[in-house]
Structure 1
Amino acid sequence: MRDAMAAEWVKLRSIRSTWLCLASGVVVSVLGAITLGGAAAMESEHVQATEPVVSVILFSQYAAIALAVLAVTTEYASGTIRPTLQAVPVRGRMLAAKALVVAPVLFAAGVLTGAAAALATYLVLLAPVFRSAPALAPAATAADLLRLGVFHALVGVLAVGVSAALRGSAGSLAALFMATLGLPLLLVMTGVPAAVEVSLRLPTFAGMAFLGSTDNLTGGPLPYPPGEGLAWLAAWTALAVAAGYAVLRRRDA
């Protein structure tokens, strides 16, 4: 496993798409947080600088998803999945190595990107035009940043599982977009109570509950505690990895 993880780390850091995804995540998070923070400051005198960072996760998560998808599908597109499986013939080990490399990278990216976006938001909201008193409380900020890291790590591993099952970049990204944003919003828009209850437990809204977000397109706080949100997100992640492993074990490279 150690050698398999070392190989996956070399592959992940040596492809340009990894760094482009990380950079795009920083840009979206910083600009989105500043925009949402400015809007919040117009309505409230006190704004915790990490709140808009959490809210913009609805969109910034796709940088993490893209990184995780490409970590798997690039090998299928180029044909390098064959030497990978020759080097690591135990397919479950290969998939686990990918997940165990992607997860800490995205955890660190979530924490550092969130910190940069929160600091940028705090500094911008100090401008006299906003007439607000932005807050960057150490304890609350640290807790929010750690949760952001966990969210990014779980979403990344979920994307690894889906990508192993579907094997193509376009199909994986489309499926993940529908599962994380398209389908939840469609179900919420129906207004049917049962459909809304289902949508609120799909990955993105479960993650927003874990992050403690009230600005989540549902019009208020989610109707269950952060711990349950984490459990739902972890369950979806485990299901995606199980599906990816089932396909990987049965199909040829």
Structure 2
Amino acid sequence: MTTATEPVSVDIGRATGTASGGGMPGALAAEWTKLWTVRSTWWGLAGAALLMALLCAVMAQVTVANNTDERVAEHPGVVSVSDIATGSMDMVQFVVLALAILMITGEYATGSIHATLQWVPSRGRMLSAKAAVAAGVVFPSGVLLGLVGTAVAYPILGKWGRLDAGDVIHDALMTGIYLAVLSVLILGVGAMLRSTAATLTVAFLFFMVLPIMLANSRSELLMDIADGLPSSAGRYLLNGDAPYPAAVAVAILAAWTAAALWGGVSVLRHRDA
């Protein structure tokens, strides 16, 4: 018989249906299970694939039209098929980022963050587990999205498309890396803001609006700042036309991601759930 002064041992892993044990392995198992047991994950990945296919089909048709329309002053000529897929990332990335955002903000919306922090009291470990799972899911998903976009664009481009196996593999891998890093970055922002709407708004402004505004300014300083933003570094990494080497683009992405995770952990440690 258990008395009031005797501790009661509870196996959180068994209670939640995840692998037993604590530490990082238990946190990873819990986050993996939670991610795949919500419909938003499946709908989000399916939506990203559908949007990628639609955008690549449209962009390929526009390329063909621009090459065959005599009214167009400058014809794009033959283009790399995989470039069509990487060019679609400006819009597709927001569907993928929504999945990472919901991993943290969805728990605040439902109140399940209280249970999560009870099971994994270490804020750093909890956010690290979410980041690892997000990157582990988004990377192969990004690679697959790149391949889907290339497969859709190739038959539409016809003679105006150049298909090179090396380019396809390189661009697909870079797409996966870029989306994985960006997902971890936005996860840190979501931990700070704790709101799906607010985090999506910041993502859209920071990854889309701000780079365009700065890049189109007449100030060299502002244009240099634009080149240092994560979305600009990612675009240079995908397109290969950066004003700096690919290693610098990766370093810029890593620095922004580390800062976002540090901010997320700091907020989690200083504010109650």
Question: TM-score, normalising length from structure 2?
Answer: 0.85
Cα pair distance change 1:133/1:186, threshold 3 Å: closer
Matches within 5 A, 1:158-169: 158-169=185-196
Residue matched to 2:10: none
Aligned counterpart for 1:111 among listed residues 135, 143, 146: 143
Residue matched to 1:251: 271
Q: CA deviation at 1:22?
A: 1.0
| AA matched with 1:82 | H
Q: CA deviation at 1:133?
A: 4.2
Residue matched to 1:200: 227
Counterparts of 2:87 and 2:245, CA distance in 1: 17
Matches within 5 A, 1:2-21: 2-21=25-44
Which shows bigger deviation, 68-77 or 133-142? 133-142
Q: CA deviation at 1:40?
A: 2.8
Matches within 5 A, 1:140-219: 140-212=167-239
Counterparts of 1:31 and 1:111, CA distance in 2: 17
Q: CA deviation at 1:136?
A: 2.2
Q: CA deviation at 1:222?
A: 3.2
1:228 paired to 2:238: no
Provide, for residues 46-84 of structure 1, a one-character-per-residue CA deviation record: whole Å limited to 9, x for no partner. 221110111111111101111100011010011100111
- The runs of 5 or more residues in structure 2 that have no matched partner are 1-23, 68-74
Work out whether residues 97 and 182 of structure 2, in 8 Å CA contact, stay in contact via their aligned partners in 1. yes
Counterparts of 1:27 and 1:228, CA distance in 2: 32
| AA matched with 1:4 | A
Q: CA deviation at 1:97?
A: 0.4
| AA matched with 2:29 | A
Counterparts of 2:163 and 2:268, CA distance in 1: 45
| AA matched with 2:88 | V
**SS across alignment from 2:161:** strand
| AA matched with 1:74 | G
Counterparts of 2:43 and 2:219, CA distance in 1: 40
Q: CA deviation at 1:31?
A: 1.4
Residue matched to 1:137: 164
Counterparts of 2:50 and 2:222, CA distance in 1: 34
| AA matched with 2:272 | D
**SS across alignment from 1:190:** coil
Moved over 3 A (4+): none
Q: CA deviation at 1:20?
A: 1.7
Work out whether residues 148 and 211 of structure 1, in 8 Å CA contact, stay in contact via their aligned partners in 2. yes
Which structure: larger Rg? 2
Counterparts of 1:210 and 1:188, CA distance in 2: 17
Aligned counterpart for 2:93 among listed residues 61, 68, 74: 61
Question: TM-score, normalising length from structure 1?
Answer: 0.91
Residue matched to 1:29: 52
1:100 paired to 2:127: no
Provide, for residues 102-144 of structure 1, a one-character-per-residue CA deviation record: whole Å limited to 9, x for no partner. 0011001100111011011102222xxxxx2422211111111
Counterparts of 2:31 and 2:39, CA distance in 1: 15
| AA matched with 1:12 | L
* Percent identity of equivalent pairs: 38
Provide, for residues 173-218 of structure 1, a one-character-per-residue CA deviation record: whole Å limited to 9, x for no partner. 11111111111112123221111110121111110111125xxxxx
- The runs of 5 or more residues in structure 1 that have no matched partner are 127-131, 214-220
| AA matched with 1:115 | L
Counterparts of 2:152 and 2:212, CA distance in 1: 29
Q: CA deviation at 1:45?
A: 4.1
1:81 paired to 2:108: no
Work out whether residues 48 and 95 of structure 2, in 8 Å CA contact, stay in contact via their aligned partners in 1. yes
